[in-house]
Amino acid sequence: MAGKLTTHVLDTAHGQPAVGMKIVLSKIEATGGAVIKTIFTNSDGRTDEPLLEGDDLLVGTYELAFHVGDYYAKYGEAESPRFLDVVPIRFGVADHNAKYHVPLLCSRWSYSTYRGS
């Protein structure tokens, strides 16, 4: 079984998928973070393809940086300074053959995540 990394963003304030949210994926190393890719969510709040899969998913520490502040600014819902701007979720991949799903549920004032399926 080839491993893969996916995500999904739900806008809990509006009760809908978070369409067009910018997400930056980085691999965290001892010397800092290296950006792997920048993507945007689709009409279902997901990415069109897995963030990483197969040989590209390595054991190690990763970070997904969700640009929540910019997303809510599109709705005219942004104070200055923003309460939440970029929400970083740092997580570990222990098995490169496993599926890792890292969803984000967010509003302008809160967020939660879990390891999904």
Q: Could you report the average pLDDT of every consecutive run of 10 residues in the chain (117 residues)?
A: 93 97 95 92 98 96 97 87 96 97 97 95
User: How many CA atoms lie within 13 Å of 85's alpha carbon, on the beta-carbon side?
Assistant: 4
Q: Considering the entire predicted model, what is its pTM?
A: 0.95
pLDDT at 35: 96
Q: Among candidates 2, 1, 8, which has minimal Cα distance to 117?
A: 8
Q: Are 53 and 22 in contact (CB under 8 A)?
A: no
CATH class label, 4-113? mainly beta
